[in-house]
Amino acid sequence: MSITPPKDGWFEAPTGFERTWVGLALVWCLLMFLAMPYWHFKGKQNSTGEAYTVTPEAFLERTNRFVETNKTGEKIGGFDVVEPAPGTDIYLAARMWSFHPAVLKLKKDSSYRLHMSSIDLNHGFSLQPMNMNFQIVPGYDHVLTLTPTVAGEYTVLCNEFCGIGHHMMTSRIIVE
């Protein structure tokens, strides 16, 4: 009984439906466990957590250099369009309440090493409408090896609360 001490000899193996269910549930749990290493080797979408320590000042300087080197002169919504060469390192600095650079132009099916960090608080990298989400933490240079597989115009939203202007923090990625 649930609210009185159990009778002597209560320590026993399950039987019948209970035994079958414990077995089935265990198999299902193991299957879910194996799915993750399987996808790590065979799947194309993985978060490996590759990161390096970086100070906000150093990261901002790298980002500025990246923007100066790769801006095309074209402007969208008043912002410089930055178009890096395929296969290179690209930088995205998050701060209250904007991303820098605001507009990135990438080539479909090329891979880039995207470095993300924050100049102030925690921020989020939320690529819409693809709905891919990663965390941006100050002090950490978070590197994603990213391959845009579908052309189109995408928004990057901040999806980690970062103060009163949080909802204004958006940027653009154009894939051609």
Q: Taking CB under 8 A as the criterion, which residues in 6-65 touch another protein?
A: 6-8, 10-18, 20-22, 24-26, 28-30, 32-33, 35-37, 39-40, 43-51
Among 60, 64, 140, 174, binds another protein (CB under 8 A): 140
Taking the mean position of all CA atoms in its chain, how far away is CA 41?
19
Q: Which helix (H) or strand (E) holds 76?
A: strand 71-76
145 interacts with another protein by CB under 8 A: yes
Whole-number minimum distance, CB 15 to another protein, in Å? 8
Which residue matches tokens 């189109």?
A: 152
Among 60, 71, 107, 128, binds another protein (CB under 8 A): 128
Among 55, 139, 151, 176, binds another protein (CB under 8 A): 139
Site for another protein in 96-125 (CB under 8 A): 98, 102-103, 111, 120-122, 124
Among 60, 64, 107, 133, binds another protein (CB under 8 A): 133
Closest C-alpha among 134, 138, 90 to residue 114: 90
135 interacts with another protein by CB under 8 A: yes
Cα(120)–Cα(156) distance, integer angstroms: 18
Among 90, 92, 104, 169, binds another protein (CB under 8 A): 169
Whole-number minimum distance, CB 161 to another protein, in Å? 5
Beta-bridge partners for 124? 135
Among 60, 107, 170, 174, binds another protein (CB under 8 A): 170
Would you say 136 and 160 are in contact if contact means Cβ atoms under 8 Å apart? yes
Tell me whether residue 64 or residue 98 sits nearer to another protein (CB atom). Answer: 98
Which residue matches tokens 């928004």?
A: 155
Cα(170)–Cα(26) distance, integer angstroms: 44
Would you say 121 and 157 are in contact if contact means Cβ atoms under 8 Å apart? no
Query: What does residue 4 show for φ and ψ, rounded to 5 degrees?
Result: -125, 160
